[in-house]
Amino acid sequence: MLTRSEVVTMVVISVRPSVALMWLYVVVLLAVLWVLGWLWRDSLLVGKISEKFVFVTGCDSGFGNLLCKRLDRQGFRVLAGCLTQKGADDLQRSSGPNLKTVVLDVTDSASVQRAVEWVQGEVGERGLWGLVNNAGRSVPMGPTEWMRMEDFHSTLRVNMLGVIETTLGFLPLLKRARGRVVNVASVLGRLAANGGGYCISKFGVEAFSDCLRRDIHYFGIKVSIIEPGFFRTAVTSLEPIERELHRLWEQLSPEVRESYGQKYFDKYIKIQRFVMNTFCDPDLSKVTDCMEHALKAKFPRTRYSAGWDAKVGWIPFSYAPAFVIDSMLNTVLPRPAQSV
């Protein structure tokens, strides 16, 4: 016959797994409810789209061009900034009457100011609902020692300083509408994988966007960052990338060129071709879908990763220790002729 203490012990032992299982069910249920709540909140959209003005930069081609056409079809009042008059005319012809274009060079302060004044005349007292800073360039891009200061400046003026100046110019109109700022950064703004000004500029866009979001949320303005992976646009076009690499190589002193060697240069070119031909996604809608959500959602996300290479590769890798990324890149990139 079992003693009283033995009976109690058996009961406790039998109850423990049941209690643990119960808590597991509770945790799973709460997780499911949280996900469902997040999905519901993420699906809520703003109204009166036909009354909302959106200004987009860099609309001659690529993401900006496609975004303008899609927003126009959905009923937004689209104002498109194009670098060239041809780009502006082509976009105007392929869109509806509610889309209007202006020539804009984000590296020219006078051009930015003219665009601000033009937009102000279009939006009036309603203000500007959305500003999409999409204009950008990738070249010159190459090993850091190959670059000169003017090479860094040419990229930073477009990708970073252009974003800052354009945003500051439009802030009064955005405050009037309690609107949104959507800045196009890159996965290379989270993980620096190559030399040149591109990664530096995109890291700058990330930092500027975070500072801006924290400073102006009091005025009802929301700031979102788009972090695309590799997509097939003018930014990833091989011809200008290779042309600039040849120019950088030719401008090196004989001593520096000898330290790298011709084999290094040839392999560097091959790697660029492999990356652009293998990983560049032709479906630009994966990026414009993120831009649209940032403009239409009641509760836009702070960051959007666009493309599977961004979601399962670049963004997760950006959290890895530096020595892991260094080792991975060292196995891919060529080794200089005079390396130690």
Cα–Cα separations (whole angstroms), residue 12 to 18, 20, 23, 264: 10, 12, 16, 70
Nearest-CA neighbor of 173 among 122, 225, 245?
122
Cis bond before residue 140 (omega within 30° of 0): yes
DSSP state of 337: T
Beta strand 53-57 with 303-306: parallel, antiparallel or unpaired?
Answer: unpaired
Token pair listed for 290: 């993120």
Query: The sheet that has 303-306: what strands, in order across it?
Result: 100-103, 77-82, 53-57, 130-133, 180-184, 222-228, 303-306
| Residues in contact with 176: Cβ distance below 8 Å, sequence separation at least 6, in sequence order | 125, 126, 127, 128
SS3 316: helix
Residue given tokens 């990708």 in the structure block:
159
Please name the amino acid found at residue 326: D
Q: Which residue has the tokens 């004989």?
A: 254
Tokens of 202: 């995109």
Quote the CA–CA distance of 328 and 316 in Å, as a whole number. 14
How many Å apart are CA 245 and CA 238, to the nearest integer? 10
> Which residues have a Cβ under 8 Å from the Cβ of 238 and sit 6 or more positions away?
272, 273, 276, 277
> Of the listed 25, 198, 218, 260, which one is catalytic?
198
Q: What is the DSSP letter of 338?
A: T
Q: Tokens 């060529």 label which residue?
A: 334
- Determine whether 218 is an active site residue: no
What whole-number distance in Å separates Cα of residue 302 and Cα of residue 224?
A: 5
Q: What are phi and psi of 101, to 5 degrees?
A: -120, 155
Catalytic residues, by residue number, are 198
